[in-house]
Amino acid sequence: MADQRPADQWECPSRDELAGFLRDRLPPEAVRDIESHLSSCSFCESAVQELRADGRGTEVPGRRSDFESLVTVVEPHPPLVPRPLPPRVPLNRLVGQYRLVEQIGLGGMGMVYRAEHLRLKKMVAVKILAADRLIDPGAVGRFEREMAVVGRLDHPNIVRATDAGDANGVYFLAMELVDGLNLGAVNRRCRPLAVADACEVARRAALGLQHAHEHGLVHRDVKPQNLMLSRKGEVKVLDLGLALLRAGARDEDDLTATGQMMGTASYMAPEQFDACHAVDIRADLYSLGCTLYALLAGQPPFGSADHLSIYNKMAAHKTKPVPRVAAVRPDVPPGLVAVLDALLAKDPAARPATPAEVATALEPFAGGADLSALILAALARGAARETAEHATVTTADPPPASPPAPRRWRRGRLTAVVAAGIVAATVGGTLWFSRRADADPAPAVPAGPPDPPVQLAAAPPVPAPRTFVPGQWTDVLDVRPTEFHWWSNGGMSAWNYDPASRVVRMQSFNTQLLSLGRAGAGGFKLQVGVQQTDWSGDFGVFLGGKRGPEENDVQYQFLRLSARGKVSARQTYLLQRGRGQVTRRPEFVPLVITQDLVATLVDPPTRFEQRLEIEVSPLELRSVFWNASQCPLLLTVNRQFNRPDYEGEFGLYFERTSVTVLNAKFMPTE
């Protein structure tokens, strides 16, 4: 079964637990918990249907019962066969009355195209629900709701919808095409913004939010990337895909289950983390306050490296005082500081009641603003940077001795398509945060990329292949690991390498592979020391990493520590061995397929460093130790691997986890 669990779905049952649920082999309490979970998690509901289809929902003869079966069954598995990716809607195809000209945006729910209205000969933005989302009733429902939400709004500070429909099974939403940049891109190019400009942006955004508020809507994802600044100096609110209908919500049911979170963590109100289905307009005002803070200070209130993970951000929004903006912007007047303090109050009751009040409060500080000059300056700086990069690429000077750091791809256009933006990527029934593009601000991306985590600077030049000496240990963390497979999931996953301490810190919400080197045809040993604050597992090592016909496709085998349910009130941990494959295409999120071949119970980790050690002979995995305890069961599937399965890239394996890698050593044995 494809392991496509949404990136943030920490509370989902495992596949084996779902299989046990179908076989009626779980304790009554566990059955009730899973039944309750399935009622609000479309991902697990689909997983149950898939288990039924492939027979795992029926009893397997000869299997031992209860938890023991999970950790001892060894069965042959067929080779991994990736599922076909849904086709991209071809360009020049007709969708209703529109001819698709160019794909200019991508999100977890679908693609955005520059399109031409056949009769009016007018260019618009057409957002199309991805084909692989059509099988998810929740995704279709959210898309239909977005069509209805955007269609009822008509305000100069909100991106207008012009058409919507279902053309031969293709769901689409047509919107005005806005020529400009999102405020995230503007802020990166021109930060810090002048006080008057920042206040005028926030004031006009408040006017748009007031219009939405008067129609019973709460945006729930206000941030710089969801505010557009046009060439004419207009500010427009976009991306209403997460909007909550406060009035008459019963008929639409909001498609949001209790326990889900929607929004972008750096800009979310404290109460939104707990009950996003029950927030009101004051949550948007908190997000607007974070946005104004970011425009003035260069980053949101809790955007520093001290608040890297979503959970750190959540705790900070709920409990920590907001850093004083005057500390980084002494020119911010005290009256504006008071407005920010009110917007960023932890208690919703202490915030302004409506966006109109905020617009009025900001007006005295917006005098002298010139947003037309601001957008022209931002566009000019972007064009100048692209010209400089082009000159670097085409220069006749000799190439440098080492390859330059890879440039982030960006489009060479100045027209940004905004649609009520790309709907935030769905990453699960427990946590659901907005997708943000990995690329540098591209003028043609609807909801533009956010500020990247501060520690994720451009990667240094890729080092030459390392040479290891047989019989001699090498500290493979003496150089920065390379990304064998990496997908930041819109900036939600991030990692940091400290060259001084030779430590890797990872915050991941999806499968990641960091290469430490390349193993040849001979045997070798690998040791990795790790530590977690809360031992949730979902990390390990990978071996035999190879790229497929497509450069971004990879195959590997892995050994992974996983936390499982409690047995006799004690948390249990498994060390698992399996195969993995990642298929990645530009228009879709990576498709990760894994096969867990065997698992064994291991001693629970302590609060200190834990060590995983493996030894590989030229033909097979010879030994596995977890904290000096041997795990012979993991060797029983050696016959399912061949010699080439141990050759290739090796390194660190991460899933949905937060972990620190303290050391890693490698030694060829022959």
pLDDT tens digits for 492-510?
Answer: 788 999 999 999 999 888 8
Spatial distance between the Cα atoms of 542 and 624, rounded to a whole number of angstroms: 13
Name the DSSP letter for residue 90. Answer: P
Helix (H, G, I), strand (E, B) or coil at 166: strand
Spatial distance between the Cα atoms of 541 and 416, rounded to a whole number of angstroms: 41
More confident residue, 22 or 358: 358
Confidence of residue 451 (pLDDT cuts 50, 70, 90): very low
Give the class (CATH, top level) of 87-387+411-453: mainly alpha
* Greatest mean pLDDT range, 20-34, 295-309, 328-342: 328-342
Q: Taking the mean position of all CA atoms in its chain, how far away is CA 65?
A: 38
The percent of residues in the chain predicted with pLDDT above 90, rounded, is 39
Reading the block at residue 495, the tokens are: 């990692």
pLDDT of residue 440: 35
Confidence of residue 353 (pLDDT cuts 50, 70, 90): very high
More confident residue, 503 or 260: 503
pLDDT in tens, 651-670: 999 988 889 999 999 999 98
Within 10 angstroms of residue 335's Cβ, the number of other Cβ atoms is 10
* Mean pLDDT, range 454-483, rounded to an integer: 73
Can you list the pairs that 379-388 forms with residues at least 24 positions away whose Cβ atoms lie under 8 Å?
A: 379/181, 379/231, 379/414, 379/443, 381/189, 381/190, 382/181, 382/185, 382/189, 382/414, 382/441, 382/443, 383/414, 386/410, 386/412
pLDDT of residue 64: 37
| pLDDT beyond 90 at 474 | yes
CB 542 within 8 A of CB 641: no
More confident residue, 647 or 535: 647
In degrees rounded to 5, what are phi and psi of residue 593? -120, 125
pLDDT of residue 269: 93
Residue with tokens 């927030």: 279
Dihedral of CA 235/240/243/248: which sign?
positive
Dihedral of CA 295/297/302/303: which sign?
positive
DSSP calls for 231-276:
TTS-EEE---TT-EE-TTHHHHGGG--TT---S-GGG--HHHHH-G
CATH 1.10.510.10 boundaries in the chain: 87-387+411-453
The percent of residues in the chain predicted with pLDDT above 70, rounded, is 66
Which has the closest alpha carbon to 211: 292, 282, 156?
A: 156
Which has the closest alpha carbon to 412: 442, 379, 451, 385?
A: 442
| pLDDT beyond 50 at 69 | no
CB 574 within 8 A of CB 564: yes
Q: What is the mean pLDDT of the chain?
A: 75
474-668 is classed in which CATH architecture? Sandwich (2.60)
Q: Is 572 exposed, middle or buried (0-12, 13-18, 19+ CB in 10 A)?
A: middle
* Greatest mean pLDDT range, 60-64, 66-70, 620-624: 620-624
Helix (H, G, I), strand (E, B) or coil at 38: helix
Q: Which residues of 441-469 are buried (b: 16+ CB within 10 A; e: fewer)?
A: bbbbbbbbbbbbbeeeeeeeeeeeeeebe
Catalytic residue status for 478: no
Spatial distance between the Cα atoms of 341 and 326, rounded to a whole number of angstroms: 12
Spatial distance between the Cα atoms of 508 and 384, rounded to a whole number of angstroms: 35
pTM: 0.51
Residue type, 536: S
Q: Radius of gyration of the chain from Cα atoms?
A: 26
CB 420 within 8 A of CB 240: yes
CB 599 within 8 A of CB 70: yes
CB 447 within 8 A of CB 421: yes
- The active-site residue, picked from 221, 239, 440, 538, is 221
- Give 248's Cβ-side CA count (13 Å radius): 6
Q: Across 160-206, where does the E strand assignment appear?
A: 161-167, 170-175, 180-182
Q: Is 127 annotated as a binding residue?
A: yes
pLDDT of residue 542: 97
Reading the block at residue 305, the tokens are: 């490296």
Within 10 angstroms of residue 625's Cβ, the number of other Cβ atoms is 16
pLDDT of residue 566: 57
Find the range with the poorest average confidence among 127-136, 285-294, 571-580: 127-136
- Give 20's Cβ-side CA count (13 Å radius): 23
Report the C-alpha dihedral over residues 254, 258, 264, 270, rounded to 10 degrees.
120
CATH 2.60.120.560 boundaries in the chain: 474-668
DSSP calls for 475-534:
ETTSS--EEEE---TTTT-EEEEETTTTEEEEEEEEEEEEEEEEE-SS-EEEEEEEE-SS
| pLDDT beyond 70 at 68 | no
Confidence of residue 268 (pLDDT cuts 50, 70, 90): very high
195-214 and 355-362 helices cross at what angle (nearest 10)?
160
Preceding peptide of 192 cis, ω within 30° = yes
Q: Is 623 exposed, middle or buried (0-12, 13-18, 19+ CB in 10 A)?
A: middle
* Mean pLDDT, range 341-359, rounded to an integer: 97
